[in-house]
Chain A
Amino acid sequence: MANMAQAIRMALHYGEQNLGVTEIFGEDVGPPLGGVFTATQGLSRAWNSPLDERGIVGAALGLAWAGQRPVAEIQFVDYIFNTIDMLKLCGNGLWSSGGKYKAPMVIMTPTGSGIHGSLYHSHSFDSIASKIHGLKVVCPSTPLDAYGLMIAAIKSDDPVLYLKPKALLRAKGEELIPGEPADEKLLHEMIDAPLGDRSKWKARWPKLTDYSVEIGKAKVSHPGTGLTLVTHGRMAPVCLDVARRFAADGRGSVEVLDLRSLIPYDWEGVKASVRKTGRVVFVNEETEITNFAEHLIRRLVDEMFYELKVRPRLLAAKATPGVPLSPGLEYFVQPQTAEVERAAAEALAEPA
């Protein structure tokens, strides 16, 4: 099975072959490196830009206004903070121009913790991104969703911020990508750049096909009836693991709703799941204060207060100024499997 970096790479290849993507760029995106997480290796339209995040976003927006469909990368989401007003321009251009200028562009960026990256290589941007209205925000948790969301993002006439959970970029999926060879080793030989001299290397792409994941559509990755875990990105496989173990151990029936899109979010999907279970824990690795899920909790209280059996909960990262390096500190700050288990058990056990 492909890992997420390979899946994104294949989607970008599909985009440059079939969807009119002519510019894929950013810091170290082109040869020889092909991206610090290898997500752009072997692509014919990938090139290196200056180390200038504001310039990268501005260039992408200008290209989009010129009728192109660019895909640009910010090397780590931690570097995106100085581009916020550029992202605002991406998000408000259609509105401020009275509908005259669309901005079909993708900004992709690795997000979140889990690689011991410490400050400036571990942060999340989800909540801030959700405040940049007009921008669509997606965050896959599996290679297949990564493939489908990238193709949907490229096709979108809106600017899409594509968050790549960096801890999952090397994680393999449980489903084949359409066109992906079943032999993992063969895929590696076909599309992973060799170590050493790559100057003569060219990728041999599998015959990929179109597959879109609708932006704004969540996925029930594990059905359940007693509790809903609403999650996305790095925490989604953690929640899935907990749900499976609870089912296996007879500790409760847990439904996992993987949002996949933060903006627009699948409100109907959230409501349908919570209506079924009456209990919900929101799980993500953003910090606690003004967490995106707090908005969803407020809306649940407004619209479904009398359908909730117990108070809705949030499991998030602790609101420290950064993600610390020392493993014990990082695990303390960022939500871990044991905390998800504990939160799920408490929500299930609380009397209705």
Chain B
Amino acid sequence: MPPKTAADPYKKIGPAKLLKIHANMVRARLLEERLIKMSKGGDGFFWIGGPGEEAFNTALGFQIKKGHGLEHDFLHFHYRSSAILLALGAKPINALRQMRSVAADPYSKGRSFAALAVMPEINLVPMSPTIETQYLTSIGTGIAQARAKTDAVTIVNGGDAGSAEGDFHSCLVWANRPALPLPILIIVTNNGYGISTAFSTQHGEVHISDWAKAFPEMPGKTVDGNDLLASWLAIEEALAYVRKNRRPYLLEAKASRLYGHSSSSGANRIPEADCIALFEDELTARGLAKKADLLKVWDAESEALAAAHAQVKTEPFPETESVWEDVFADGLPPSYPVKGGS
């Protein structure tokens, strides 16, 4: 436990926000567990998500300059980002709708699988099942924001396995072009695995953030993503640098992967460090919360999710002809082939 000094970051964040952070972490965990339950219970399909990353992702979500347009942060996220989205105001029921692929799924109209949100109102660009292409699209919003007079930045995240792809390295190169450095916070969440393959067996770099050493003006840092406070401070520092200097920052967060890769690997609980338990211990040890009150948060969020799930089960699936919507922005040409053959 850090010392309770005047500079104690816990005091700086303040008890009210700390409890809000806690509630978001709990909501994200319970949402993921509900999605797993739906996937296993035949009430949806493939599950993938971010249980274990709630501390880092909530700390990130609460520090994003949220909104639409170049004056706000642009977000290029991968599929373990539910805690960020909830911190930004995403409604849990919409994730359930996407899991069940009902017509009311606001992210994809029943087309994409769970965890792939799209929210233009907060500059969240289309999330993709690909593990690394977001590092490329972040270049584009980064260019737009580098041209604009704003302190808004682009934020991109991905996993450790995806950092082997060229797209991650493309992002580093483009973000550090002397001709136009880009204001991008480049995040890698390192949970130590790509599906079943251990990072340590495939990567010789000590830290993924060490790639920053190739670019003299791009700081790189590795932080314990299971530690809410350390994550908060690292993100605060990184965002401040990017906002002010209009240059990239590479931040690696080591985090747990509490339910494995996805439903494909069983989605069963794995005994790794639990960031929520660690945070609750800190809150109670510091006298910022009572255990009983924290448990009430779990109960309330759980009830809300159960109610949302019950509602989603009553909602209709999409009409089949809706697949022809959104193929082109100006509509489907009358003679476009729609029969699927002869």
Contact = CB atoms under 8 A, between A and B. Distances in A.
B335 A267 contact: yes
A101 B126 contact: yes
A157 B336 contact: no
B130 interface: yes
Given A47-B179, A52-B174, A264-B333, A98 B109 contact: yes
Contacts of B139: 55, 58-59, 62
A23 interface: yes
B337 A299 contact: yes
Interface residues of A, number: 51
A98 B174 contact: no
B269 interface: no
B327 A52 contact: no
Contact of B133 (A50, A58, A70, A302): A58
Contact of A66 (B106, B140, B166, B171): B140
A99 B325 contact: yes
B205 interface: no
Nearest to A50: B173
Nearest to B334: A268
Contacts, number: 154
A303 B84 CA distance: 52
A98 B108 contact: yes
Interface string A59-74: 1111111111010000
Given A59-B139, A61-B140, A66-B144, A158 B329 contact: yes
Contacts of A94: 326-329
Given A59-B139, A89-B130, A101-B126, A96 B112 contact: yes
A22 interface: yes
* 5 shortest interchain CB distances as A-B pairs: A62-B140, A58-B136, A157-B329, A267-B335, A66-B144
Interface of A: 22-23, 47-50, 52, 54-55, 57-68, 70, 85-86, 89, 93-102, 104, 133-134, 136, 156-158, 216, 264, 266-268, 295, 298-299, 302
14 contacts: A22-B147, A50-B177, A62-B137, A62-B144, A63-B141, A63-B143, A68-B140, A97-B126, A97-B326, A98-B106, A216-B333, A264-B328, A268-B335, A295-B337
